[in-house]
Amino acid sequence: MKAQTLKGHLDGLLLAVLADGPAHGYSVISALRDRSNGEFDLPEGTVYPALHRLEKAGLLSSSWSADAPRRRRVYAITPAGERSLRQRRTEWRGFTSAVDAVLGSAA
């Protein structure tokens, strides 16, 4: 799937991955690829600005991990991030059911 198609959904996807527990950048991106069966295959380095932005917005927190072999930043979802994720899920369900109602009727 092209990066352009993901635009607007990436923040929600990152929050959803981190809702399962704290993780560093590489495992967030791997989880995103694995959980989408390889569909979300975007330039991996461009995900970090999105993680930084979510942190600035208070939806994620991050810290350097002490038990890694090298310097590693670990991200975790904040309570505000969880609220935002709930809201995004509700909006997404509403949107997909509306699209389904239109696209599905042609079948």
Partner 1 sequence: MSGQRLIDDYLGRLERELTLPRRLRARVLAEAEDHLLCAVADLVSDGRAPVDAEREALARHGSVEDIAGSHARARSTRATVRTTTGVVASVGSFGALFVATTQVPAVHAGIPATAVTSGAAGVMGWIAVQLALSCGALAVIRCHRLRGQAAARAGALRLANRSASTAVAAIALSLLLDLAAFVRMPAGQGQHAALVFGLVLLALAASAGTVAQLAFAQRRLRALERYGSEPAEEDAFDDVCDALLAIARMLAGVPFIRRVAPLAELVARRALTAGSPVARVLRDHPLRFGATVALLAGLLASGGHLVAEGPPSNVARALLVVAIIAGIEGLAVFGCYALFGRFLGIRGVSRACAPR
- Exposed e or buried b per residue across 83-107, where buried means at least 16 C-beta atoms within 10 angstroms of its C-beta: ebbeebeeeeeeeeeeeeeeeeeee
Q: How far apart are CB 19 and partner 1 at their closest, in Å?
A: 19
46 binds partner 1 (CB under 8 A): yes
The answer to whether the beta carbons of residues 28 and 51 sit under 8 Å apart is yes
Size of the site for partner 1 (CB under 8 A): 25
**Given the complex with partner 1, which of 62 and 78 has the nearer CB atom?**
62
Q: What is the residue type of 11? A: D
Helices (H) and strands (E) in the chain, counts: 5, 3
Q: Per-residue x/- marks for partner 1, 70-99, CB under 8 A?
A: xxxx--------------------------
List contacts with partner 1 (CB under 8 A): 7-8, 10-11, 24-27, 29-30, 43-46, 48-50, 52-53, 56, 68, 70-73
